[in-house]
Amino acid sequence: MRKFLLCIVCLLTASCLQSFGQTKAEIIKEIRQLYAEAKKKVDLNGKNGNSPKDMRIVLNRVEDEDIPLYDTEQLDFYFEQYPYEDGVVTKPPYFIVEDWGNHGHLRYREVLLNPKTHKVIFCYTRGETDAGFVLESRCYYDAEGRCIEEKTSSPNSWYSPASEKETAETYLKIFDMTMNRGGNDLQDTNMPKKETAPKAERLKHIRTLYAQAKDQSAANDKKDMSDDLHITIHDLGDDQPPRTIETRIYFDKAGIYFINSHSTSMLFNAYNEYLFEPKTQDLIFSYTRAAEEGEVYEWRYYFDENGDCIETKTNSPDNADESISDKRHAKYYQSLYQEISDKLGS
């Protein structure tokens, strides 16, 4: 019986070191080959007449104005773009790069994804303290997500294979949420209605806040230490004109106060703004300008305390009400900001 149990243990141990018949050495060799291919693809991204396919997220925030502590994090995602599957274009990332800094502390991280399964197979992290202490970590994972090799420059590492994989998967969730935006539930219609101000008074209040938000966001852009979330996406295939989508989410201690988003290509140009009530974080105004084939259309929607549109201004011949769509987009951006600000940083 002992010999039988020993054989079982040996077989289980061997299976943990193999993936689909591969030995540990073979898996690591394949990962290194995929790493080299991914780095080459990153270098060629947007070159040789091909449209770039990448997304950059930059989160800047002042954590303590008295010291001050300034936290800045940049995530770069590089992805493929495959044909439609069930009506949806798939854009799986193959490589992720992180750069983070806070008061002299630095971190650089690379994440390699399997190009077929899109699972994490390698993580490299280099951390440096403000005192100059450097720590490096490399983790290799098999097809089942098990770490089969860990290399670290110090036995007292800040990182572990489990934490590195968890961080990488968090980045993947952020990527998916950013690229594949879905409909967001609006506020419960059964909630008690709030008392509303007279329309003229409400419009004056909104216009005052709009002017303040524009001034505040413009001043923020000029600051050495800004508070904003900046997202840039290049996401169209090689058979279409390149498109860039830039989104800026401005926030302070009270929360988000203003968002603008600009989508540009050779065929289409769209610009959006979203204004929020500082006390409640509710959307109170949205603006859209769209230009295509020489035509320019604008939409302005003003919302009351209950989120109902009380004023619409547009030069579009189409009388369709897009205020609901704007409210959903605003909710999406709020959810995205919350997810990113909660997960990124130290």
Class of residue 295 by CB neighbours under 10 A (exposed 0-12, middle 13-18, buried 19+) = exposed
Residue 43 above 80 pLDDT? yes
Residue 270 above 60 pLDDT? yes
Q: How far apart are CA 94 and CA 118, in angstroms?
A: 7
- Band of residue 319 on the pLDDT scale cut at 50, 70, 90: confident
- The average pLDDT across 89-116 equals 90
148-to-34, 135, 154 alpha-carbon distances in Å: 16, 20, 18
- The average pLDDT across 292-312 equals 93
Residue 69 above 70 pLDDT? no
Q: Which DSSP string corresponds to 282-331? A: -EEEEEEEEEETTEEEEEEEEE-TTS-EEEEEE--S-----HHHHHHHHH
Q: What is the mean pLDDT of the chain?
A: 86
Residue 19 above 50 pLDDT? no
pLDDT at position 133 is: 84
Residue pair 81/89 in contact (Cβ under 8 Å)? The answer is: yes
Class of residue 210 by CB neighbours under 10 A (exposed 0-12, middle 13-18, buried 19+) = middle
20-to-122, 142, 182, 243, 330 alpha-carbon distances in Å: 18, 10, 36, 40, 45
Q: How far apart are CA 298 and CA 322, in angstroms?
A: 11
pTM to 2 decimals?
A: 0.86
